[in-house]
Structure 1
Amino acid sequence: MALKRRNGEAGDEMTGREKKKLKVSNARTIAVQPSAMTSNAVAGPSSSKAKDSLIGLPAALDVEHFIEARAFEIDAMHKAMKTASASSSYRVWQTLPRHLRRRAASHDVRRVPLRLRDRARAEMDPIRKKALGRAMPRGAKNRRIDPTASFLKRQRNKTWLETHLWHAKRMHMENIWGYRLAISPTEKSYRPSHRASVRGSILHDASYYSCVEIRGPEKIIIIMLELCCDPQAAGPGSKRCLTGSRTLETCIYRPGSYPYDLVAPLTIIWKPHTQRTSKERETQTSRQSLPSKNKGKAKAGSDPPSKQLDSMVARSVWLRFHPSAHTEVLDTLREAASQTLANRKASQDNAEEVNLEISDLKGHLNAFEIMGPKASQVIKGALSPVRSEQRGEFQQFWSSLTNLQSAGSIPRGMIIGFKVNDPRLKFPPKNAKATHCPNPIPPTTLIFPSSHLAECEIWDDTVRNGLAKPRFKKKDLDERRAKSEIPGMPLNSTRLDDTIPVLLIQRSVETSKSTDSQALHGWTLIVPAGWSMAFFSSLVFTNTRVAGQLERQTQAYEAGTAYFPRDYPFTQPYQSYALDRERQEKGVWERKPPAKRVNYDKLAIENPWRPVWETVLGIPEIREETTEGEVKFVSTQRETLQSTSSTVRPWLFRGFDVPNIVAKMSSVFNHGAVLLSEINRLRVKRGHSPFPSSFKAADILQGALITVKITMCSRGSPKDLAILHSLSDDVYGKWEKILSIRRSAGVAHGQEIPEETELTDTVPCQTSAIGYVTTGHYSLTRGHGFAIGAIPVVHFLELDQQVTRLHPNQKARLQSAPILVGVRNTDGHQYRGPVIELLES
């Protein structure tokens, strides 16, 4: 056996660690002068061995000779001090764990832990003295820019959130939707963020969401919203949300254009019935005191006077939606308000004049989304309600937050309004800890939504304007804390301290009847403007992770729900998003040399950077020449209803009744007639007129696109913009056989069987493309590839008929036979056979 070291000597060579240790040891060793003392040394030690130590010492000390004799020792000490300080491999801030390192730590000793401040102070550069001992020239002081003015100057073409500085130091930032928003943390946090949303808590600043307030008579507001809201969902005037105890999740369309012209998802929040401002009470009193010409003469079939009076009560409603559709939603609301007032004036000659006030609350409210099973404990620990909150329902709810295992245990969209003390008084907060109860009472039996529980002063604009700026700065609170007799104790609230009204709304990200998805539950906290950083600091200090845009998208993806705007084709925000992504990814591809980039011509990909929905729908694209000579693709989304008889318009078919409507269509031969009748039924439900007889059912069927979820049954993960292909009957049989073998043999998703290898190398035909993947990658919740995509309704019905044809036994088909398609990423030839299902909203 060969020796590891030359000549078998183990000690000839040293390891790198030993060399470094020896180098540091030598640097920290003081050199010693060899003992070569001369006989005529004046200040040297005596060689006498007499008992008296003073014998032999010189009578006088020559300082010059003494320094010359000790020059070597002094020089050696100076060199040792210099080499010892330079031999350290790490500075103090580099020895800290990564979550405590800050760039400012190398400039400010106070940012370093107390035990290391002495070393850090020694490593700091010496303070430079002022030139010639004079202060800064007066001209330089005048030219110095104020930080506030500098920040405002940098927000000319975008808006900063109140938590911008905190995010900018820790997150990647981008300009989107008119804001400067955080995209993702600078540290690796994809898996920790998912783990926090599933097991702990994760926080997202959603203050960029748009909010519009509508004020006016209740009946007029309901009619106005019914003109533009999704008829499949509950109406804006339903008892469920009209009292103000719950929110309503729906979608907004152009007035009277359903199912075309989808604008954006919408959240409706009514002001509680029992809560009215002094201005609204005065308006209602004056209306009741006005003399009526037709007093006591009610028309036949009309509501009694008391009911008519209740329907004309002044109400307020908030509409929250994505900022990418801000302009479109405002235009839609103005158009709906104009149509409502015009129709009322035309139908009632002596109708009382009413006013509808539409206010943009941008910059008036801040919102935080706290998701995860520990979100309730975070809310309970960070907020402290004022002592005047003596409502029994609220006290019952607040006490139940401690042991609430998940926010999904309470009714969906439940609203709780209350007032809290300044969270800075209680800083640092502590999470509420659940207590063990042998027989816990389910929270659903204790907490019920009510308008009395949802009352909050945040609806009053005078209260919000009075709280726009906190009364005390953080410096003032720190001075009060320094004067406290017991250090570290929270400050007691005084009558001079601010009390802030907040709204707490239950939020769930889930799909109905889904077995492979894990729903996420949490809270949406709405606070007045000016208090974002005060609440954000307390929420972050409870060991809650902070999420950016990518983490928020991942939450919707893991829950198996569509995310706006990337999963909503044929909407204006989606068109902008798709064009921006195409420009960025195409630019990256063009900057690479030909040998280092994917050859899409060889792969026969029509457009690898943007889905070509018109191709899979079988309709022509509309091209528009720009001033630069470039070709711009324009969707047919903005065409009028009168032209639909000659042109097929693409539209997204979504809603709660989609599975039932598709089941009805698959059971009959004429699919278009069933779809048209169902659309007309929904239009009549909201007071719209049905489509004219000249409207072709085949046109509305051909332009319909439906959202599906793609579940991989074998290896592979579909990426964004992956292409979905239809399978022939023989290929379908082969994939079904492979799936049955995998189930019977218990093969994991990451393993591949020999029969599958040959089948995945088959190149699909380009004409068999039936759809695209809008969001897809590896799912941490499911442990395999998962995607959300869209395909035309026509192709989905053909796939359903294929399964029925290959499995005549209808009962067996529903139990085991899946709908299989082929999925192929744009950067390769391989394609696999996943299972697709309708994505239920």
Structure 2
Amino acid sequence: MPTKRQTDNRASEELSGRERKKQKTALARTIAVQSTPGPSNANESAVAGPSKSVRFGSMQGLPGALDVERFAEARAFEINAMQEAMQNARSNATQRAWQQLPRHLRRRAASHDVRRVPLRLRDKARAEMDTAKRKAPGHSMPKKSKQNQPKRTVQLLRRQKDKTWLETHIWHAKRMHMDNMWGYRLAVTPTEKSFRPSHRASVHGSILHDASYFATIEIKGPEDILRSILDQCCDCQGPSPGAKRFLTGARALESCLYDYNAYPHRLIAPVTVMWQADVPNNNQENAATNEPGKGKGKEKAASSNLQQNTRVVWLRVHPAVLADAHRSLRVAASFALNSAKQVGRTAEVEMADLRDHFNVFEIMGPKASQVIKGALKPVDDKRADFQKFWASLSRLQSAGSLPRGMVIGFTVHDPRLSFPPKNAKLETAEGKTLSPASTVFPSAALAESRIWDEETRLAIRKPRYKKKDIDQRRANNLVPGTPLKAERKDDRIPVILMQRSVETTAPAQSASSTLPRARTTNALHGWTLIIPQGWGMPFLSSLIYTGTRVGGQRERQTQAFEAGCAYFPRDFPTTEAYEEYAEDRAADEEETWERKPPAKRPNYEKLGTRSPWKADWDVVLGIARPPSAKDTVNAGDEDDLLDTQREVEMTDATEDAAAPPSAAAPQAAAWDVAAEPWLLRGSDVPAIIADISSMLNPSAGLLMHLNQIRAKRKLDPLPASMRGEDLFRTALVQVGVSLCGRGRPDDLAIIYRINDDEARKWITAEARKKSGLALLHDGPDDTELSQISPSAGGIIGYVTTGSFSLSLGEGHATGAIPLRQYLELRQQAQRLRNDGKLLVKVRNRDETICRAALVDLLY
């Protein structure tokens, strides 16, 4: 029998690495205590044991007084032991200094530079660094080479040769993905996963976006000439830019800018018009008192004062269309001045580009008012309206309860003096049915601000004190954390606060029975803060310290998508900015598609996608020939396709005998390549469509309505060479697309029309599905109907923006279709008695499944 293996005493004494680490950690967390002095261990210490219970009776013999010095000397060992134990436990922690930081403070460079670590962890981080690999900061370059290096300011300016940085660029570049857009280096989206949190912030909290890249155009001149210029270039629908509600400067107008006298063609971009506040008892009254009376009547004197009254108006437009906006306004100004010269009047109009004069922050969400009040400290303002408004911000649940475009001007202290700001909490008043902010109405006195004065803006262009000076003043405070008091030499910054809403239409219009909406979306409300140049970072630091999130271009686009409204330029076809955007996106997507192997990319030719990279609006409208037949073949479709889009439309109109003559597509002898597509949008669009849909000749009715709208702005009628048929067949309307079932429409998804027979099947299938009778096989269900391949001639539009809507909880999209196709869908809904729901089919460009969807008008 073999002998047993003897135990190696040497191996048993050695511990594993894990055990040694546990033993080291346990020893580091042990607090040494002083043992009871004895004959042999008077100066020895022992490990602390379990605490003993203390009886209350044993405390009766304690002295009434205590000598602090003797007591501290007696407890010196315990105090030193506690400090050493805390230091040992800290130095032997299981986490390194870099791992103790929160995720939003972790930097890859922190492992090489101790100065990137917060001050409280620098000693620990310095001790944990490897001495062999430690790099002395500031000694990586010889002195001679360091002298030849350009300064940091020169380096940063050199990097801005082909683009412009915002004042908050460095802050965004550390936390955002950046990209070159419209001549700027802008933030696209945060580096952290923030898609859903950003949406929650816009719906339940607040989110901030730096919109300083928007261009501001200033026009200065006589009031009547400025009104004429704006009437010639702005949207003719809705209120005029020279209306009384906007002319006083109390409100800002959201409109659209067109080329001079070109409405409804050549849409440029949406524009925000804001007049300088015309405070009563100002220039007009002074001019009336100084004017000599030579027998003139009061009306003639008032007319003269109106002509000589110099006003200033600002137009905020997208940077992609700044050159087009300047050109249109210059042409309109020259015509207005020529008209004034013909009547013997001399006038001057000044136009300036104020792109580098302002910083603009958009704060959206229900808590935006509390963020504004917590971050800004107004200077003592004696205006009763402003005091009432500022007090109501803490009780304002949403900025949507205020009038649209309301403007408030005031002056604030340097936000660095009150940093860090304290969040203003929402105060709820019980028993009140009327919102406290609804009692504050827009007025010129409330909108007055010194930011309109160029000399004032230039005087405070550079802050008087640097941040280190403010910090030194704060360090000199006797009580740490006390806010600094504003002194006479401190800067006072004039600002403008403007109410901003992202919503589809007015509630009164959306409730119209003639144009029912397929879905209701959530509107977003907030504020637009305009501050002078040079104060971007001081205000941004205070605003984001209140807890608001910061978003980029993607978050701003998502706000418009969730609100159900169009976003410029991606949702505005027929504009030059949209064409540039579509070309850039098509080039990027095609390059990405070509880099993939054939097995890993969709075959658009077999899928039947006619134009996978860019929407062919000219083909949809019927003013251009479709691509070749091989690009329009559907998967599994053996029938020959028709040559042109117009022949397909004529065939569909002939098959549908129940359709009235107005529903048929207009017939033309030849292709009109020179026809110009245009976008019909505005507040009067629902009334126009409801009127022309009941006419036998809708094209003539459309031309009549457009001439009437132009007459309201004192514009000449459209040229006689422009026929109503051409206007009618080249018009596009923006629509919202909501899927009836599951699925999600993507960008450039194709919108198809449905004939009456298939539409009845879809309606029946949806009714059975809602009633719970979908299991009864008495007809095709939605799954079987979605497998039907549509014809290439049935394309009536494209989706410009499509995704899954977090606010609706289903797929949603924004697109555009021709006006005549929209009228046909309305007539089809009346024939099928579908409660005014306009039914179409939507297919993604890389799929074969066509899903039913409802279409509603956007205006």
Pairwise TM-score range, normalised by the shorter structure: 0.7 to 0.9
Instruction: Judge conservation of contact 1:648–1:702 (CA < 8 Å) in 2.
Output: no
Distance 2:463 2:113 in 1: 28
Distance 1:817 1:742, change over 3 A: farther
| Of 734, 745, 759, the match for 2:785 | 759
Matched, 1:335 2:331: yes
Matched, 1:772 2:798: yes
Distance 1:576 1:150 in 2: 31
Instruction: Judge conservation of contact 1:411–1:444 (CA < 8 Å) in 2.
Output: no
Distance 2:126 2:364 in 1: 42
| Of 214, 218, 225, the match for 1:213 | 218
Distance 2:218 2:304 in 1: 23
Distance 1:235 1:645, change over 3 A: farther
Instruction: Judge conservation of contact 1:27–1:87 (CA < 8 Å) in 2.
Output: no
Instruction: Judge conservation of contact 2:738–2:854 (CA < 8 Å) in 1.
Output: yes
Aligned to 2:603: 599
**SS of equivalent residue, structure 2 residue 495:** strand
Distance 1:524 1:379, change over 3 A: same
**SS of equivalent residue, structure 1 residue 833:** strand
Distance 1:499 1:622, change over 3 A: farther
* Superposed counterparts of 1:397-416, under 5 Å: 397-416=389-408
* Aligned AA (1:827): D
Instruction: Judge conservation of contact 2:340–2:347 (CA < 8 Å) in 1.
Output: no
Distance 2:460 2:267 in 1: 37
Instruction: Judge conservation of contact 2:623–2:673 (CA < 8 Å) in 1.
Output: no
Instruction: Judge conservation of contact 2:618–2:624 (CA < 8 Å) in 1.
Output: yes
Distance 1:113 1:530, change over 3 A: closer
Q: Bigger shift: 554-563 or 687-696?
A: 687-696
**SS of equivalent residue, structure 1 residue 656:** coil
| Of 831, 843, 851, the match for 1:832 | 851
Measure how far apart 1:146 and its partner are: 0.7
| Of 496, 510, 514, the match for 1:503 | 496
Measure how far apart 1:757 and its partner are: 1.2
Aligned to 1:472: 465
Count matched residues.
724
Aligned to 2:733: 706
Distance 2:579 2:246 in 1: 32
Distance 2:618 2:806 in 1: 33
Aligned to 2:522: 518
Matched, 1:173 2:192: no
Measure how far apart 1:303 and its partner are: 5.3
Aligned to 1:641: none
Measure how far apart 1:29 and its partner are: 6.7
Instruction: Judge conservation of contact 1:586–1:609 (CA < 8 Å) in 2.
Output: yes
* Aligned AA (2:746): K
Aligned to 2:418: 426
| Of 537, 543, 556, the match for 1:539 | 543
Aligned to 2:840: 821
Distance 2:462 2:729 in 1: 55
* Aligned AA (2:602): V
Distance 2:611 2:758 in 1: 26
Instruction: Judge conservation of contact 1:645–1:695 (CA < 8 Å) in 2.
Output: no
Matched, 1:659 2:653: no
Distance 2:280 2:773 in 1: 60
| Of 309, 325, 346, the match for 1:313 | 309
Measure how far apart 1:116 and its partner are: 4.1
Measure how far apart 1:109 and its partner are: 4.1
Measure how far apart 1:321 and its partner are: 1.0
Instruction: Judge conservation of contact 1:645–1:694 (CA < 8 Å) in 2.
Output: no
* Aligned AA (2:500): R
**RMSD of aligned C-alpha atoms?**
3.0
Aligned to 1:255: 260
Instruction: Judge conservation of contact 2:201–2:365 (CA < 8 Å) in 1.
Output: yes
Distance 2:226 2:165 in 1: 33
Aligned to 2:358: 365
Distance 1:379 1:52, change over 3 A: closer
* Aligned AA (2:737): I
Distance 1:268 1:94, change over 3 A: same
Instruction: Judge conservation of contact 1:645–1:699 (CA < 8 Å) in 2.
Output: no
Distance 1:98 1:242, change over 3 A: same
Distance 2:117 2:318 in 1: 41
Matched, 1:735 2:735: no
Distance 2:193 2:309 in 1: 53
Distance 1:600 1:726, change over 3 A: same
> Which runs of no fewer than 5 residues in structure 1 stay unpaired?
1-20, 31-50, 54-83, 624-643, 748-752, 808-812
Aligned to 1:241: 246
Distance 1:622 1:836, change over 3 A: closer
Measure how far apart 1:395 and its partner are: 0.4
Instruction: Judge conservation of contact 2:398–2:526 (CA < 8 Å) in 1.
Output: yes
Distance 1:505 1:790 in 2: 31
Measure how far apart 1:289 and its partner are: 7.0
**SS of equivalent residue, structure 2 residue 395:** coil
Matched, 1:794 2:787: no
Distance 2:858 2:758 in 1: 25
Distance 1:90 1:568 in 2: 54
Instruction: Judge conservation of contact 1:215–1:358 (CA < 8 Å) in 2.
Output: yes
* Superposed counterparts of 1:119-158, under 5 Å: 119-126=124-131, 139-158=144-163
* Aligned AA (1:676): L
Matched, 1:460 2:453: yes
| Of 614, 622, 633, the match for 1:618 | 622
Instruction: Judge conservation of contact 1:726–1:770 (CA < 8 Å) in 2.
Output: yes
Query: What TM-score, normalized by structure 2, do the two folds share?
Result: 0.80
**SS of equivalent residue, structure 1 residue 402:** helix
| Alpha-carbon displacement from aligned partner over 1:257-282 (angstroms, at most 9, x marks no partner) | 110010010101000112899xx899
Instruction: Judge conservation of contact 1:409–1:443 (CA < 8 Å) in 2.
Output: no
Distance 1:436 1:803, change over 3 A: closer
Aligned to 2:612: 608
Instruction: Judge conservation of contact 1:24–1:87 (CA < 8 Å) in 2.
Output: no
| Alpha-carbon displacement from aligned partner over 1:641-660 (angstroms, at most 9, x marks no partner) | xxx99942100110001111
| Alpha-carbon displacement from aligned partner over 1:193-250 (angstroms, at most 9, x marks no partner) | 0000000000000000100110000011001111111010211110110000000111
Aligned to 1:33: none
Measure how far apart 1:604 and its partner are: 1.6
Distance 1:229 1:134, change over 3 A: closer
Distance 1:672 1:303, change over 3 A: farther
**SS of equivalent residue, structure 2 residue 521:** coil
Distance 1:88 1:535 in 2: 39
Distance 1:498 1:243 in 2: 29
* Aligned AA (1:376): S
Aligned to 1:493: 486
Measure how far apart 1:556 and its partner are: 0.4
* Aligned AA (1:206): A
Aligned to 1:554: 558
Distance 2:542 2:750 in 1: 45
Distance 1:92 1:760 in 2: 58
Distance 1:192 1:699, change over 3 A: same
* Aligned AA (1:779): S
Instruction: Judge conservation of contact 1:778–1:784 (CA < 8 Å) in 2.
Output: yes
Distance 2:40 2:730 in 1: 116
Measure how far apart 1:338 and its partner are: 0.7
* Superposed counterparts of 1:15-26, under 5 Å: 23-26=17-20
| Alpha-carbon displacement from aligned partner over 1:568-607 (angstroms, at most 9, x marks no partner) | 0011110100000000000000000111111011012121
Instruction: Judge conservation of contact 1:275–1:455 (CA < 8 Å) in 2.
Output: no
Measure how far apart 1:713 and its partner are: 1.3
